């Protein structure tokens, strides 16, 4: 496999792993929500307490953060983005070095 094909393969494998983890997180969240509602309503597990709602809310917030990371942040800030940023910064540094060298080589009057 060529280097570029290998990088594409690794990127696809990483994205699939991220999405799989997100789907697993969602299924686990869903099952725990069902269990907490059943434990609260049917078994009267925590009578008069809204602890299960706080747990579900916090966990749902964490799931939303996970979703944003997988589908928004990592989608745009991937290896290609990193390479572009590095190339841009290296070009800026080289330009500044060239300007400094030109400034130093100018004859003083």
CB 63 within 8 A of CB 26: yes
- Each residue's pLDDT, cut to its tens digit, for the chain (109 residues) gives 587 788 888 888 988 999 999 999 999 999 999 988 887 877 766 556 777 788 889 999 999 999 998 888 877 777 778 888 888 999 999 999 898 888 888 776 5
Dist CA 16 CA 19 (whole Å): 5
């Amino acid at each position: 496999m060529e280097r570029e094909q290998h990088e594409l393969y690794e990127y696809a494998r990483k994205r699939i792993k991220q999405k799989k983890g997100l789907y697993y997180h969602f299924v686990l969240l869903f099952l725990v929500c069902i269990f907490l509602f059943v434990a609260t309503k049917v078994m009267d597990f925590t009578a008069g307490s809204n602890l299960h709602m706080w747990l579900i809310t916090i966990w749902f917030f964490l799931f939303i953060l996970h979703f944003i990371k997988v589908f928004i942040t990592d989608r745009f800030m991937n290896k290609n983005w990193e390479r572009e940023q590095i190339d841009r910064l290296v070009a800026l540094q080289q330009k500044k070095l060239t300007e400094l060298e030109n400034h130093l080589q100018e004859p003083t009057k």
